[in-house]
Amino acid sequence: MKSSITQGVKMLATGSAVPDLCINNELISNIVDTSDEWIFNRTGIKERRILSGSTSLIDIAALASIQALDKTNINALDLDLIILATSTPNDLFGSASQLQAKIGASRAIAFDITAACSGFLIAMVTAAQFIQNGSYNNVLVVGADVLSKWTDWSDRRTCILFGDGAGAAILQSCSLLENNILGFNLNTNGQKFDQLNIQYEYSKKEDLFSTGIKGNFKYITMNGKEVYKFAVSKVPQSIQCCLSSLNLSVKQINWLLLHQANERILNAVASRLMIPSEKVISNLSKYGNTSAASIPLALNEAIEDSRIQSGDLVVMSGFGAGLTWGTLILRWNA
Ligand code: UT7
């Protein structure tokens, strides 16, 4: 079969933004029956940022996007495509167009991808396809979520976990030799959709046409133990599969950047792959689980503080609702 890959993909820059309001574990223990000790020991989380006042998902997504753009020699008008990975849109029809307007990227086509905590990776892979087949040159990929809006603050099993944030990456077409998005592996098991979701609840009330389809979305519900077991067993397999498709070995990994859900998951996945803890990127203590934002937020911080150096092999894996999980391998080149 003829390959449709005509171009390489280069990640030019990253950016991130979080809301100002910081909620620490002590504050949460005033609301539900929990403690800083329990939360930190079981999750690694100390505090999280929560959107407040009139600040919106679009505001933090735009801040992250502009920060990333400012590190490149292109501007918003050069963007051909914007993909916003979010499961907490401002508008059920999609929020990417609001982001396009806010940053003044009037030439770009913009759409949302809904895939919870795997959203950023799936958006990156989608963006890469458009670049590799020659359709677009400059693409903005954003992962942004405000799960605080969908959190039941009386449920101690979930309200301790989530925070809000946004992360962005600018991708550009390049020669095949310069390509630095090396490969990916994506998976879904829809049989287990009900292990982690924000369900739509049908109302029994009569509506105009007696269809019974009126209703509302409920809060986040999660079977924590099952999702934990799923992540620890499936993520290492996805990483191994992606590495072997590229003839790479675990030893060649410089950085393991997993979706920031739980410090124990990060450690368990690293230990299954025999990756030393110094190679594991974690910022859970500061932000908790920011869903689609967690990978680009941690990536941006590790690039900004020079932990990730030019030439480093970065293995990123996302996992969560769907259930969906996957891996993307990046050779970072500044
Ligand atoms: O982003 C998508 C991916 N998400 C994830 O990967 C999350 C995966 N799951 C987890 O991270 C963990 O399952 C949790 C952090 C959610 C929970 O940790 P756990 O070690 O699995 O706790 P558990 O649910 O088994 O609960 C253990 C005990 C229970 O008490 P009993 O039944 O043993 O008496 C809970 O009621 O801890 C209790 N508990 C709490 N206690 C204090 C549950 N939540 C809390 C709490 N504070 N916040």
Ligand 1 within 6 A of CB of 193: no
Q: Is residue 3 domain-resident?
A: no
Both 207 and 302 in a single domain?
A: no
Both 122 and 169 in a single domain?
A: yes
What's the total number of domains in the chain?
3
Ligand 1 within 6 A of CB of 102: no
Both 226 and 99 in a single domain?
A: no
DSSP structural state of residue 214: -
117 annotated active-site:
yes
Instruction: Give the span between the Cα atoms of 186 and 151, in whole angstroms.
Output: 27
Both 229 and 206 in a single domain?
A: no
Provide the 3-class DSSP secondary structure of residue 211: coil
Instruction: Give the span between the Cα atoms of 245 and 3, in whole angstroms.
Output: 16
User: What confidence tens digit (pLDDT) does each residue in 214-226 have?
Assistant: 788 999 999 999 9
Ligand 1 within 6 A of CB of 160: yes
Instruction: Give the span between the Cα atoms of 327 and 307, in whole angstroms.
Output: 20
Instruction: Give the span between the Cα atoms of 331 and 88, in whole angstroms.
Output: 30
Q: Is residue 213 domain-resident?
A: yes
Please give the residue that has the higher pLDDT: either 1 or 184.
184
User: What confidence tens digit (pLDDT) does each residue in 247-258 have?
Assistant: 999 999 999 999
Q: Return the pLDDT at 60.
A: 98
Question: How far, CA to CA in Å, does 156 sit from each of 16, 23, 25, 212, 239?
Answer: 28, 15, 11, 32, 32
Q: Is residue 250 domain-resident?
A: yes
Query: pLDDT confidence of 1, banded at 50, 70, 90?
Result: very low
Q: Cα 203 vs. chain centroid, distance in angstroms?
A: 32
Both 46 and 172 in a single domain?
A: yes
Both 172 and 215 in a single domain?
A: no
* Strands 81-85, 47-49: pairing kind: unpaired
User: What confidence tens digit (pLDDT) does each residue in 81-121 have?
Assistant: 999 999 999 999 999 999 999 999 999 999 999 999 999 99
Q: Yes or no: say if 172 and 137 are a contact pair by the CB < 8 Å rule.
A: yes
User: What confidence tens digit (pLDDT) does each residue in 162-215 have?
Assistant: 999 999 999 999 999 999 999 999 999 999 999 999 998 877 666 666 666 678
For residue 224, the one-letter residue type is: G
Q: Is residue 55 domain-resident?
A: yes
Q: Is residue 2 domain-resident?
A: no
Ligand 1 within 6 A of CB of 43: yes
Q: Which of 138, 185, 262, 289 is catalytic?
A: 289
Q: Which of 25, 117, 159, 242 is catalytic?
A: 117
Cross-strand bridge partners of residue 314? 255, 330
Provide the 3-class DSSP secondary structure of residue 160: coil
Is residue 45's pLDDT more than 70?
A: yes
Q: Return the pLDDT at 20.
A: 96
Q: Is residue 1 domain-resident?
A: no
In terms of residue numbers, what domain contains 206?
194-219
Cross-strand bridge partners of residue 83? 111, 141
Both 257 and 212 in a single domain?
A: no
Both 210 and 185 in a single domain?
A: no
CATH of the domain at 156: 3.40.47.10
Q: Is residue 39 domain-resident?
A: yes
Cross-strand bridge partners of residue 188? 324
Both 120 and 37 in a single domain?
A: yes
259 annotated active-site:
yes
Query: Which of 115, 146, 178 is the C-terminal boundary of a domain?
Result: 178
Both 227 and 125 in a single domain?
A: no
Closest CA to 223 of 169, 155, 314, 283: 155
Both 161 and 115 in a single domain?
A: yes
Both 245 and 203 in a single domain?
A: no
Q: Is residue 202 domain-resident?
A: yes
> Across residues 28-55, what is the average pLDDT?
96
* Strands 196-202, 215-222: pairing kind: antiparallel
